[in-house]
Amino acid sequence: MRILIFGSTGLVGTYVLNELLAHRYHVIAGCVRNSANLDPFHLRDPHLTVVDGDVLISDDVERAFTNNGINDYLDGIITCIGEELDCIKQVYSRGHRNIFDAFKNRHKFSTCNNGIDSI
C-alpha cells in the first residue's frame, strides 16, 4: 500500500508513521518542514519517502501528491496536522484546504483527525 501522510512529525503523526512503517506500507511523508524532526531510524527505512515542504503552500502539497513514483497512485491519505492550539486556524484549516484541493480528482481518502473539526 502507498500512503501519503501529512503531519508526520507531530505527536499523533509520529505514532501513525511508526504504525504504517511497522506494517511495511510504503509511506510518503508530505510537506515535512524539518526532516530532522523525523526519527533517524525512519529516515533510513526504504519504505519511507520524505517530501519537504509546507502544507500552507499549495504547490508543496501538490508536489507531495505527485512525488510518489507510480503515476500519482495512492491507496490513501492520512492527515495528522494541526494538533497544537496555536496553529489550528492556519495549519489545520488552510493546510487541509490545500490537501482537499489537491485531492479533489482522486477517489480514496482516509483522514486521521485530532478531534477538532474546523472545516
Q: Is the pLDDT of residue 31 over 80?
A: yes
pLDDT bin (cut points 50, 70, 90) of residue 114 is low
pLDDT of res. 101:
74
What average pLDDT does range 22-37 have in this prediction? 92
Phi and psi for 51 in degrees, rounded to 5? -115, 110
Distance CA 41, CA 62 (A): 27
Q: Is residue 113 in some structural domain?
A: no
In a domain, 112, yes or no: no
- The answer to whether position 47 is within a domain reads yes
Is residue 117 in a domain? no
Please check whether residue 53 lies inside any domain of the structure: yes
Residue 22 sits in a domain whose CATH number is: 3.40.50.720
Residues in the chain, total: 119
Give the pLDDT confidence of 78-108 residue by residue, as tens digits.
888 865 666 666 666 667 677 777 776 555 5
What pLDDT, on a 0 to 100 scale, did the predictor assign at position 85?
62
**pLDDT for 11:** 85
Total of domains in the chain: 1
Domain residue limits at 84: 2-103
Mean pLDDT over 51-69 rounds to 85
As a whole number of angstroms, the longest Cα–Cα distance in the chain is 36
**Which three three-digit cell numbers place residue 97?**
484546504
Predicted local distance difference test score (pLDDT) of residue 116: 45
3-state secondary structure of 50: strand
Cell numbers for 42:
525512519
Q: Which of 93, 114, 103, 119 is nearest to 4 (CA)?
A: 103
Q: What tens digit of pLDDT does each residue of 68-81 get?
A: 555 567 888 888 88
